[in-house]
Chains A and B, each alone.
Chain A
Amino acid sequence: MTYTPTEFELAVYRWIDSRLDGCTVIYANQGSPRPESAHATMLLTLDSEAAPPRTYLTDEASGVDFISVTVTEKQAVVSIQTFGVEAYQLLKSLVDGRRNTDSKSFLTSENLSIRGVSDVQRIFSPREADIEGRAVVNIDFGYSERLENIVEALEEVIATLED
Protein backbone atom coordinates (compact mmCIF):
# COMPACT_ATOMS: atom_id res chain seq x y z
CA MET A 1 0.00 0.00 0.00
CA THR A 2 1.37 3.39 -0.98
CA TYR A 3 0.64 6.17 1.44
CA THR A 4 -0.59 9.49 -0.01
CA PRO A 5 0.25 12.43 2.24
CA THR A 6 -1.93 15.55 2.30
CA GLU A 7 -0.62 19.00 1.29
CA PHE A 8 -0.29 19.80 5.00
CA GLU A 9 1.72 16.65 5.69
CA LEU A 10 4.00 17.40 2.72
CA ALA A 11 4.68 20.87 4.15
CA VAL A 12 5.43 19.48 7.63
CA TYR A 13 7.65 16.81 6.07
CA ARG A 14 9.69 19.45 4.23
CA TRP A 15 10.17 21.41 7.45
CA ILE A 16 11.26 18.37 9.49
CA ASP A 17 13.53 17.12 6.70
CA SER A 18 15.19 20.53 6.45
CA ARG A 19 15.91 20.57 10.21
CA LEU A 20 17.18 17.02 10.80
CA ASP A 21 20.56 16.79 9.11
CA GLY A 22 21.82 13.28 8.40
CA CYS A 23 18.51 11.71 9.38
CA THR A 24 16.16 9.90 7.00
CA VAL A 25 12.62 11.16 7.57
CA ILE A 26 9.76 8.84 6.58
CA TYR A 27 6.00 8.65 6.97
CA ALA A 28 5.06 6.14 9.69
CA ASN A 29 3.25 2.84 9.16
CA GLN A 30 4.07 2.20 5.49
CA GLY A 31 4.90 -1.44 6.20
CA SER A 32 8.20 -0.82 4.43
CA PRO A 33 11.71 -1.84 5.43
CA ARG A 34 13.26 -0.02 8.34
CA PRO A 35 16.02 2.43 7.34
CA GLU A 36 19.38 1.22 8.61
CA SER A 37 20.73 4.65 9.52
CA ALA A 38 19.35 7.22 11.96
CA HIS A 39 15.79 7.98 11.00
CA ALA A 40 12.60 9.71 12.05
CA THR A 41 8.94 8.90 11.47
CA MET A 42 6.13 11.42 11.28
CA LEU A 43 2.48 10.61 11.90
CA LEU A 44 -0.50 12.97 11.69
CA THR A 45 -2.58 12.08 14.75
CA LEU A 46 -5.17 14.87 14.87
CA ASP A 47 -6.52 17.35 12.31
CA SER A 48 -9.39 19.63 13.32
CA GLU A 49 -10.95 23.05 12.75
CA ALA A 50 -9.60 25.74 15.08
CA ALA A 51 -12.31 28.26 14.13
CA PRO A 52 -15.48 28.33 12.02
CA PRO A 53 -14.79 28.59 8.25
CA ARG A 54 -14.98 32.05 6.64
CA THR A 55 -16.49 32.32 3.16
CA TYR A 56 -16.39 35.25 0.76
CA LEU A 57 -16.97 35.85 -2.95
CA THR A 58 -14.53 37.25 -5.45
CA ASP A 59 -15.22 38.27 -9.03
CA GLU A 60 -11.61 38.60 -10.16
CA ALA A 61 -11.32 35.28 -11.92
CA SER A 62 -11.64 35.28 -15.68
CA GLY A 63 -14.05 33.00 -17.49
CA VAL A 64 -16.35 32.44 -14.54
CA ASP A 65 -18.78 34.68 -12.75
CA PHE A 66 -17.62 34.41 -9.16
CA ILE A 67 -15.35 32.32 -7.01
CA SER A 68 -16.52 31.33 -3.55
CA VAL A 69 -13.49 31.13 -1.28
CA THR A 70 -13.73 29.30 2.04
CA VAL A 71 -10.80 29.61 4.40
CA THR A 72 -10.65 27.36 7.44
CA GLU A 73 -8.08 27.83 10.18
CA LYS A 74 -7.01 24.35 11.27
CA GLN A 75 -4.89 22.77 13.92
CA ALA A 76 -3.14 19.45 13.56
CA VAL A 77 -0.92 17.37 15.79
CA VAL A 78 2.03 15.55 14.29
CA SER A 79 3.87 12.92 16.30
CA ILE A 80 7.55 12.67 15.46
CA GLN A 81 9.73 9.78 16.60
CA THR A 82 13.45 9.47 16.12
CA PHE A 83 15.51 6.28 16.26
CA GLY A 84 19.21 5.76 16.85
CA VAL A 85 22.03 6.78 19.17
CA GLU A 86 21.38 10.51 18.66
CA ALA A 87 17.57 10.20 18.77
CA TYR A 88 17.02 12.49 21.75
CA GLN A 89 19.53 15.12 20.65
CA LEU A 90 18.01 15.22 17.15
CA LEU A 91 14.50 15.90 18.43
CA LYS A 92 15.75 18.42 21.00
CA SER A 93 17.54 20.32 18.25
CA LEU A 94 14.36 20.30 16.14
CA VAL A 95 12.21 21.61 18.99
CA ASP A 96 14.72 24.08 20.46
CA GLY A 97 15.55 25.44 17.01
CA ARG A 98 11.95 26.06 15.96
CA ARG A 99 12.21 29.77 16.81
CA ASN A 100 15.43 30.30 14.83
CA THR A 101 15.06 32.80 12.01
CA ASP A 102 15.60 30.27 9.25
CA SER A 103 13.18 27.79 10.82
CA LYS A 104 10.50 30.46 11.27
CA SER A 105 11.00 31.66 7.69
CA PHE A 106 10.65 28.11 6.43
CA LEU A 107 7.44 27.57 8.41
CA THR A 108 5.99 30.86 7.15
CA SER A 109 6.83 29.98 3.54
CA GLU A 110 4.98 26.70 4.02
CA ASN A 111 1.93 28.45 5.53
CA LEU A 112 2.54 26.74 8.88
CA SER A 113 2.71 27.94 12.45
CA ILE A 114 3.57 26.09 15.64
CA ARG A 115 0.88 26.43 18.32
CA GLY A 116 2.45 24.20 20.92
CA VAL A 117 5.05 21.54 21.57
CA SER A 118 5.02 18.66 24.04
CA ASP A 119 8.05 17.65 26.06
CA VAL A 120 10.60 15.60 24.18
CA GLN A 121 10.31 12.17 25.74
CA ARG A 122 13.26 9.82 25.82
CA ILE A 123 12.47 6.14 25.34
CA PHE A 124 14.74 3.12 25.39
CA SER A 125 13.53 0.04 23.61
CA PRO A 126 15.08 -3.44 23.36
CA ARG A 127 16.12 -4.30 19.83
CA GLU A 128 17.89 -7.55 19.02
CA ALA A 129 20.69 -7.88 21.57
CA ASP A 130 20.91 -4.12 22.18
CA ILE A 131 18.93 -1.25 23.66
CA GLU A 132 17.92 1.28 21.04
CA GLY A 133 17.61 4.98 21.77
CA ARG A 134 14.32 6.59 20.76
CA ALA A 135 12.62 9.90 21.37
CA VAL A 136 9.14 11.25 20.67
CA VAL A 137 7.52 14.67 20.53
CA ASN A 138 4.08 15.93 19.53
CA ILE A 139 3.93 19.25 17.71
CA ASP A 140 0.67 21.19 17.40
CA PHE A 141 0.66 23.01 14.05
CA GLY A 142 -1.68 25.68 12.75
CA TYR A 143 -2.44 26.12 9.06
CA SER A 144 -5.07 27.49 6.70
CA GLU A 145 -7.09 25.37 4.32
CA ARG A 146 -8.47 27.18 1.27
CA LEU A 147 -11.31 25.79 -0.86
CA GLU A 148 -12.56 27.45 -4.03
CA ASN A 149 -15.88 26.85 -5.77
CA ILE A 150 -17.27 28.42 -8.93
CA VAL A 151 -20.49 30.34 -8.37
CA GLU A 152 -22.51 31.30 -11.43
CA ALA A 153 -24.21 34.68 -11.47
CA LEU A 154 -27.94 34.94 -12.05
CA GLU A 155 -28.39 36.26 -15.60
CA GLU A 156 -32.00 37.30 -15.16
CA VAL A 157 -34.42 37.67 -12.29
CA ILE A 158 -38.12 37.78 -13.04
CA ALA A 159 -40.25 39.04 -10.21
CA THR A 160 -43.85 40.04 -9.86
CA LEU A 161 -44.95 42.58 -7.36
CA GLU A 162 -48.22 41.83 -5.66
CA ASP A 163 -50.32 44.24 -3.67
Chain B
Amino acid sequence: MVGAKSYVIKSFSNGAYVDGLFVGETESERTVLGSLQPLGEDMKRLPEGLDSSSTLKFYTRSKLRTSDQGEQREDLLIFEGASYAIHKAQVHTSGAPLPHGKYWLERKGNQ
Protein backbone atom coordinates (compact mmCIF):
# COMPACT_ATOMS: atom_id res chain seq x y z
CA MET B 1 0.00 0.00 0.00
CA VAL B 2 1.59 3.25 -1.17
CA GLY B 3 2.47 5.73 1.57
CA ALA B 4 1.17 3.51 4.36
CA LYS B 5 1.82 4.67 7.94
CA SER B 6 0.70 3.61 11.41
CA TYR B 7 -2.39 5.26 12.88
CA VAL B 8 -4.09 4.91 16.25
CA ILE B 9 -7.64 3.56 16.17
CA LYS B 10 -9.96 3.90 19.17
CA SER B 11 -12.66 1.23 19.44
CA PHE B 12 -15.70 1.03 21.71
CA SER B 13 -17.65 -1.97 22.91
CA ASN B 14 -20.44 -3.07 25.24
CA GLY B 15 -22.36 0.20 25.17
CA ALA B 16 -26.13 0.01 25.59
CA TYR B 17 -29.13 2.24 26.16
CA VAL B 18 -30.19 2.38 29.81
CA ASP B 19 -33.09 4.68 30.70
CA GLY B 20 -32.60 6.57 27.46
CA LEU B 21 -28.87 7.19 27.86
CA PHE B 22 -26.07 5.41 26.03
CA VAL B 23 -23.75 4.13 28.77
CA GLY B 24 -21.27 1.44 29.75
CA GLU B 25 -18.83 1.65 26.88
CA THR B 26 -15.31 0.34 27.20
CA GLU B 27 -12.61 2.00 25.11
CA SER B 28 -9.54 0.37 23.63
CA GLU B 29 -6.75 1.45 21.31
CA ARG B 30 -4.79 -0.31 18.60
CA THR B 31 -2.49 0.65 15.78
CA VAL B 32 -3.26 -0.09 12.15
CA LEU B 33 -1.29 0.40 8.98
CA GLY B 34 -2.91 2.37 6.18
CA SER B 35 -2.81 5.25 3.75
CA LEU B 36 -4.61 8.45 4.70
CA GLN B 37 -5.63 10.90 1.98
CA PRO B 38 -7.56 14.19 1.98
CA LEU B 39 -11.11 14.12 0.71
CA GLY B 40 -12.58 17.52 1.50
CA GLU B 41 -12.23 20.68 3.57
CA ASP B 42 -14.91 23.26 4.16
CA MET B 43 -15.16 26.53 6.03
CA LYS B 44 -18.41 28.28 6.90
CA ARG B 45 -18.95 31.76 8.28
CA LEU B 46 -21.79 31.24 10.75
CA PRO B 47 -23.43 33.50 13.36
CA GLU B 48 -21.52 31.70 16.11
CA GLY B 49 -18.18 32.07 14.28
CA LEU B 50 -16.08 30.33 11.67
CA ASP B 51 -16.70 26.61 11.49
CA SER B 52 -14.57 24.15 9.56
CA SER B 53 -15.10 20.54 8.58
CA SER B 54 -12.72 17.96 7.25
CA THR B 55 -13.15 14.60 5.56
CA LEU B 56 -10.51 12.00 4.73
CA LYS B 57 -10.14 8.70 2.90
CA PHE B 58 -8.33 5.84 4.58
CA TYR B 59 -7.10 2.74 2.78
CA THR B 60 -6.20 -0.21 4.99
CA ARG B 61 -6.16 -3.98 5.10
CA SER B 62 -7.40 -3.88 8.71
CA LYS B 63 -11.10 -4.18 9.44
CA LEU B 64 -12.67 -1.10 11.04
CA ARG B 65 -16.11 -0.59 12.56
CA THR B 66 -18.22 2.02 10.78
CA SER B 67 -21.09 4.15 12.06
CA ASP B 68 -23.70 2.25 10.05
CA GLN B 69 -22.94 -1.08 11.73
CA GLY B 70 -25.58 -1.53 14.40
CA GLU B 71 -25.78 -0.56 18.04
CA GLN B 72 -22.11 -0.02 18.75
CA ARG B 73 -20.19 3.21 18.37
CA GLU B 74 -17.95 3.54 15.31
CA ASP B 75 -14.15 3.42 15.50
CA LEU B 76 -12.24 6.69 15.65
CA LEU B 77 -8.98 7.39 13.85
CA ILE B 78 -6.61 9.84 15.53
CA PHE B 79 -4.85 12.22 13.13
CA GLU B 80 -2.95 15.37 14.10
CA GLY B 81 -4.63 15.42 17.51
CA ALA B 82 -8.17 15.28 16.13
CA SER B 83 -10.61 12.36 16.19
CA TYR B 84 -12.16 11.24 12.93
CA ALA B 85 -15.34 9.14 12.91
CA ILE B 86 -15.27 6.25 10.47
CA HIS B 87 -18.51 6.28 8.53
CA LYS B 88 -18.62 4.21 5.39
CA ALA B 89 -16.60 1.40 3.95
CA GLN B 90 -16.02 -0.03 0.53
CA VAL B 91 -14.39 -3.38 1.08
CA HIS B 92 -12.54 -4.81 -1.89
CA THR B 93 -11.94 -8.49 -1.28
CA SER B 94 -11.99 -9.76 -4.82
CA GLY B 95 -10.65 -8.33 -8.04
CA ALA B 96 -8.14 -6.10 -6.28
CA PRO B 97 -4.49 -7.20 -6.26
CA LEU B 98 -4.58 -7.00 -2.45
CA PRO B 99 -7.82 -7.18 -0.45
CA HIS B 100 -8.35 -3.83 1.29
CA GLY B 101 -10.97 -1.44 2.56
CA LYS B 102 -11.59 2.18 1.64
CA TYR B 103 -13.09 4.13 4.54
CA TRP B 104 -14.71 7.57 4.63
CA LEU B 105 -13.75 9.64 7.69
CA GLU B 106 -15.23 12.83 9.16
CA ARG B 107 -13.64 14.97 11.84
CA LYS B 108 -15.59 15.09 15.08
CA GLY B 109 -16.40 18.35 16.83
CA ASN B 110 -15.09 19.25 20.28
CA GLN B 111 -18.47 19.01 22.02
Contacts and interface: CB of A to CB of B under 8 A. Distances in A.
Nearest to B111: A1
Task: Please report whether the interface of chain B is mostly helix, strand, loop or mixed according to DSSP.
Answer: loop
B15 to A, nearest CB: 7
B20 interface: yes
A5 B67 contact: no
B72 interface: yes
Interface residues of A, number: 17
Contacts of A42: 20
A27 B17 CA distance: 10
B19 interface: yes
A156 to B, nearest CB: 51
Interface residues of B, number: 14
Contacts of A6: none
B71 interface: yes
Contacts of B79: none
B20 A17 contact: yes
6 contacts: A5-B21, A26-B17, A30-B21, A33-B15, A33-B74, A42-B20
Interface of A: 1-3, 5, 13, 17, 24-27, 30, 32-36, 42
